[in-house]
Structure 1
C-alpha cells in the first residue's frame, strides 16, 4: 500500500469507526428506552439492563454497517474532491480505479465483519437476548407487574393490582387464570405480596374470593364454584414455564438450520419459506457493503470537476442508495413469501456494485458521441 493509499485509508477507517459507533449508540439508546422502566420503577439491576441491551448491538451493527460504509466513502471522496486533493492526484496520473483502491479495501473489511456478525455473532447474541427475556418473564415476573395495569404473564395469566406500596405489598388484586383448559379461574383479593421460590415467583393472596367456572356433566349447564379464603398462593412461573420448549426465532438459527430445518419441529410451509429467504438475505447482506461503496466511488470519482459540485454529487449518491435500500426491503419481503424470487436478493446485492465498477472504468461498450468536425 502506497503512501497515498495509506493517507486515504486512514481517513476512511477513522470515519467508518466513528460513524458506525455513533449510529449504533444512537440506535441502542432508542431501543433500550423500552427497558429503562424496568430499572427505574421495577428494580431491575443496572448490570442486567446493560447486559440485556448490549446483546442487541451485533444485530444493529450488521444492519447499519453497509450504510455507514457508503456514507463514509461518499463523504470522504467528495470532500477530497472539493479540497482539490483528487484533482492533484489525477494530474499525477492516478486513474479512478487506482484512487478507489483504499475504499475497496475498506469495503472488503466491512464485508468480512458483516459475515462474522451474520453467520456467528448475531444468532448467538439474539439467542442469549431471548433467554434473558424468558428469565425476566419467568424468574423475575414480579418486576413486570404494574399498578393500575392488566399485566399478562405468559399467554394465559393476567394480573391486576390497584396499587403497589413501597414495601412491595399489592392492594386490590385480580387474577384471571386460564391455564386449566375449560375451567378458568378468577381470584379477587384485598392484598398480596410477590415471593420468590426456587421454582420461580409466586403471589401470596390474602382475604379473597376464588371463582371457577366448571363445565357441566351429563348435560348439565356450567356451574360456578365460589370459595372464600384467608390465604391463597398462585404460581406465576408456571404461566411461562412452557416457553422453555418454544420455537426458536429465525435470527437465533444458523444458516444450515434455516436452509434445512428439522422436520420434527412441525413447521408450517410458510415458516419454511420464510426461513429459506432469511438465510439468503443473511448470506448476501454483507456484500451490499461492497456494492454501496462502489456506488459511492462511481458518483464521487466520475464526471467533470466542478468547484461547487460537491452538493450535487452527495445528493445523487444518497438518492441512489436510498432507492437501493427501499428496493432491498421490497425484494426481501417478496422472497420470504415466495422463494422463487430468492435470486433477486443476490441480484440486489451484486448488480449495483458491478454496474458502478463498470461505470467507474469508463463504461466500455457504451456508445460515445462522435466529435463534430471543425468547420472550415
Structure 2
C-alpha cells in the first residue's frame, strides 16, 4: 500500500506568490496556443478538402464536358479556394477550440490550473490570442484575397465562355450553345478551318434561318468572335406564311458574340470589389454594380462582421466548457450547448448578410451576430468563476 506523508513545509499552489505561478501559467499558455493552432490547421485542411471535393465534382463535369483541359480545372479550383477557406476558417477554429479544451479538461490539466488559482478568464488568454489570429486570417480573406480571386475567376469564366472553339464547336456533333441555336461541323483541320458547316438559328419567332457552308473560319474582332462562312447558302423560313427564301453567298459573317452575351449586361457583383473601393463607392462603381452608396458600404460592414465572427468562433469553443464541475462522464452537456450557440450565431450572421442585400440602410443590425458571439463567451467566463473563487481572489489582492 502506498503511503502518503504530509510535509508541513510545503505550501499549496494556490498560496504561492503570483510570480511563482506566472512562468508555469505562461508555459501553459504557449502549450495551449500551440495545440489550438495545430488542430486548427488539421481541421481546416479536412474541411477544405470536403468543401473542395463537393465543388470540384460539378466543376469537373462542366469544364471537361466543354472540352477544357485538366490544367484549366486546376486553375479554377485554385481560384475558388479563398472563398472556400473563408467559410471553413471560423468553423475550424470552433472545432479546434472545442476539441483541445475538452481534451485538456478530460486530462485534468485545466482542472489543476484552476486549483492553483487561475480563473477561467485567465485561462482564456491563449484562446483570445488564437481568436485574434483567426480574425486576421478571416480579414485577409474577406477584404483582399476572396474578392481578388473572384475577380480573376469571373474573368477566366468569361474568357472560357468566349472560347467558341472549345464550347461552340466539336467535330461530328450537333451542339446547342444557346437556346434556339444548333451547330454542326464535320471536321476541324489543324489550320482551324471548319469543314462542312451547319448552323440553324431559330431564336426569332418570325423567321428561322439555316446557314450551310463548305468552309468557315473563326475570326477575332473588336466586336467579339466572328464566324466567316465561305461558299454557302442561307435558307430563311418566314413563319407567318411558311415561305422559304434561299440566298447563296461567297462569304458571309455571322456574329457569334451575340450568343455569348451575359445576363448581367456588363455589371459586376460586389463580391469582386475590394473593401477600399466598396467604401469609396464611386459613381462608376455604383453604376457597374447597380448598387447605391449605402448598399456598397453595407457590404463592407458585413465583411467586418465576418472578421468578428471569426474571433468569436474560437471563444465559443472554449467558454461553454468552463461551466460546471469536472465529471468522469465528460462535458457532453457543455459541448452540446457550445454547438447550439454556434448555430445561433451562424443564423444571425446569415440574417445580417440578408439585411446587407435587402435593407442596407439597417446596416447596424449586421453586427448583431458578431457582438452576440463575443458577448456570450465573456458572460460565460464570468459565470464560470464561482463567487467564492472571486471573493478569495479579491481577498488576496488579485484580479478575479
Q: Provide TM-score, normalisation by structure 2.
A: 0.74
Look up the match of 2:17. none
Q: Pick from 242, 254, 269 the counterpart of residue 234 of structure 1.
A: 254
**Residues 82-231 of structure 1: pairs in structure 2 closer than 5 A:** 82-138=106-162, 140-145=163-168, 147=173, 149-152=175-178, 159-161=181-183, 173-176=198-201, 186-189=209-212, 195=218, 197=220, 201-203=225-227, 209-211=233-235, 226-228=246-248
CA positional deviation for 1:135: 0.8
CA positional deviation for 1:131: 0.7
Look up the match of 2:71. 47
Look up the match of 2:333. 312
Select the structure of larger CA radius of gyration. Answer: 2
Deviates more, 1:313-322 or 1:34-43: 34-43
CA positional deviation for 1:83: 2.5
Q: Pick from 250, 268, 271 the counterpart of residue 248 of structure 1.
A: 268
**Other structure's SS at 2:318 match:** helix
Q: Measure the CA separation in 2 of the matches of 1:201 and 1:242.
A: 15
Matched, 1:76 2:96: no
Q: Provide TM-score, normalisation by structure 1.
A: 0.78
CA positional deviation for 1:331: 2.6
Aligned in 2, Cα 1:46/1:308: closer, same or farther, shift over 3 Å? same
**Other structure's SS at 1:362 match:** helix
**Other structure's SS at 1:285 match:** helix
Matched, 1:279 2:281: no
**How many residue pairs get matched?**
354
**Other structure's SS at 1:47 match:** helix
CA positional deviation for 1:133: 0.8
**Other structure's SS at 1:133 match:** helix
Query: How large is the Cα RMSD of the aligned pairs?
Result: 3.9
Which ranges in structure 2 are unaligned for 5 or more consecutive residues?
1-24, 388-400
Which ranges in structure 1 are unaligned for 5 or more consecutive residues?
215-220, 367-376
Matched, 1:258 2:278: yes
What do the CA deviations read for 1:165-204 (whole angstroms, capped 9, x no partner)?
Answer: 79797888444387xx999773344887774657765556
**Other structure's SS at 1:186 match:** strand
